[in-house]
Amino acid sequence: MRPHTRSRLQSFLFYIPFALPLWKAMTGGGRAVADMRRTYKLSHLLEGEVAADPLAQFEKWFGEAVKAEVLEPNAMTLATAGADGRPSARTVLLKGWDARGFVFYTNYESRKGAELAANPHASLLFTWLPLERQIEIRGAVERVTRAETEDYFYKRPIDSQLGAWASPQSRVLAGREDLERRIEALMVEHRGRAVPVPPHWGGYRVTPVSIEFWQGRPSRLHDRLRYTRRPDGSWQLERLAP
């Protein structure tokens, strides 16, 4: 069956109760990537129901993600771009937020560190699929103070502290064994002693200029509310088309 004919038939069967699931089961349809979709209908997002301050709204949604036991609710995609404008993205962990912004920690000599040095702007994306929600945060990036870095570093497990020294992040390794040898040597070197904070490791703070809240809705007509920071520090709330 030609693709366009198959698509038209599926559209027709959509209006007949139980016909589309039965047809897919009989033909093996639904397994192709193009057929993978679901209807979002858990909740909605209305202007009159959100907080005036996006940080308060973030705290509310984050708390609900934790309560729902979403896996790694503080995991977020960090998107950066270097001076050449070429983007890159990876998952990092949020380690704190307040009125100043959202904080994560990493190796300053990594690819993301080099890109942030050349272009200190980034986007953060939280994706909580069980709640059919996303939050995108865009803003300028700066390093946190050394005192903040040291305070967080000594809250990490000792293995993670040593890992910050052992891994030349984003650099090519000869093999896994190379990394494991580095860790073993560091464990011997620092046995019974405090591990100093690496000078090339620390935190970044993303100071938001916009925060968008996304709630999945049926028929891909999702709710998107964006807060944009005004010059006086207040926030403007707008609805975006899905």
Catalytic residues: 220
Mean pLDDT confidence for 2-27: 58
The 10s digit of each residue's pLDDT in 95-132 is 999 999 999 999 999 999 999 999 999 999 999 999 99
Q: How far apart are CA 227 and CA 21, in angstroms?
A: 40
Is it the case that residue 42 has pLDDT exceeding 80?
yes
> What domains, with CATH codes, occur in the chain?
20-154+197-239 (2.30.110.10)
Degrees (nearest 5) of the Cα angle 39, 43, 48? 135
Q: CB neighbours of 19 closer than 8 A, spacing ≥ 6?
A: 13
Single out the residue of 140, 158, 143, 76 nearest to residue 108, CA to CA.
Answer: 143
Is it the case that residue 27 has pLDDT exceeding 70?
no
**If 0-12 CB within 10 Å is exposed, 13-18 middle and 19+ buried, where does residue 64 land?**
middle
What is the value of pTM for the model shown?
A: 0.83
| Amino acid found at 74 | N
Q: How far is CA 236 from CA 53, 55, 103, 210, 227, in A?
A: 9, 13, 23, 9, 5
